[in-house]
Amino acid sequence: MSKTIAVNAGSSTVKFKLFDMPSEEVVAEGLIERIGLEMGHAKIKYGDGQVHDEQTPFKDHGVAVEYLLKQLTALKIVESFDEITAVGHRIVAGGEYFKDSAVIDDKVMEEIDALADYAPLHNPAELLGIKAFKKVLPNAFAVAVFDTSFHASMPKMNALYSLPYDWYEKYGARKYGAHGTSHRYVAQRAAKLLGKPLEDLNLITCHIGAGASITAIKGGKSYDTSMGFSPLAGITMATRSGDVDPSLVNFMEHKLNISSDEMVDILNHKSGLLGISGVSSDMRDVQAAAQKGNDQAQLALDIFENRVVRYIGSYMAELGHTDAIVFTAGVGENDVEFRQAIADQLKNFGLGVDPEKNNVRGVERDISSADATVKVLLIPTNEELMIVHDIERLKAAAK
């Protein structure tokens, strides 16, 4: 029986699931997190409830992928790499090149590399992952699944900035969004939970992790999304600033006597929760510091929640009618207090969370209160399964 591995690299994580095919049974899954921090963490679940759990530093995504591949054989999850016949990679930025997933060849890798400026925290790391897997699995059918392709359906009034139009025509200056694979998956699951066709629903999906984005979905298609030309825009994130007045950026470049490249690095790597709190980029660390009375950490949490509320509220106005708000990804799936706080701040918009239903982590369910007129759903994302489905679709098309 052949196996397919789906690889989902975030800005500070590498998740994977190994599937038996064609049954789509998950035979192993894992997460390497806190990549680039002083100490990383790897956890792999496999076999009959077996778990490999290790604390070790991961300098970058290339090191994390090499570690993962070694563990697959060391733990006897696979006897030989020949068992893995397909690899799917989640790629953030597809730019104007990719309106759909693509079979990976040299040209596709060159184009992923050329799009590095669109997603500087992701595309270079994901390309390292592609090359690492190709080195060990040269004959596997490899597919790139682009987060931006889901947002290709956005109307121009939401996709374009108020800038000279020829910038879009000549240079592709527009909003591309990200996390499309996740938003696409949870939207489909939301339709199942609500018992309605996806095309009949208006949803706001909140992918809240180290990277975070909020998407308005109208009739099953992306209508607007918080991330922009790159994943730097939108709400406050772990190390990314989210929306900032461009004039302030220029002002600070002069004050600090730094280049625009150095400023972009600061906005991507030294801002967000890390920059405001001065404690950490990890939400759990910031929350712990706030509980000990750290005012900057508490301010970081307040700003984070404020930006989420601001985007949800604006999208509810844009959609006109909203059937459900969906929380997913690391913080969205696991932070009980965060979900409650967001719903409480939007109670005048018809949101309500039942504290008992909400008191779970990573369990798919309707967590709405009885009086809520807008449903609140907790749906763990499964980008890996979406990747597997795209692999099979492209395999069939290649025959």
As annotated, the active-site residues are: 147
SS (H, E, C) the chain: CCEEEEEEECCCCEEEEEEECCCCEEEEEEEEECCCCCCCEEEEEECCCEEEEEECCCCCHHHHHHHHHHHHHHCCCCCCHHHEEEEEEEECCCCCCCCCCEECCHHHHHHHHHCHHHCCCCHHHHHHHHHHHHHHCCCCEEEEEEHHHHHHHCCHHHHCCCCCHHHHHHHCCCCCCCCHHHHHHHHHHHHHHHCCCHHHCEEEEEEECCCEEEEEEECCEEEEECCCCCCCCCCCCCCCCCCCCHHHHHHHHHHHCCCHHHHHHHHHHCCHHHHHHCCCCCHHHHHHHHHCCCHHHHHHHHHHHHHHHHHHHHHHHHHCCCCEEEEEHHHHHHCHHHHHHHHHHCHHHCECECHHHHCCCCCCEECECCCCCEEEEECCCCHHHHHHHHHHHHHHHHC
Burial of 238 (0-12, 13-18, 19+ CB in 10 A): buried
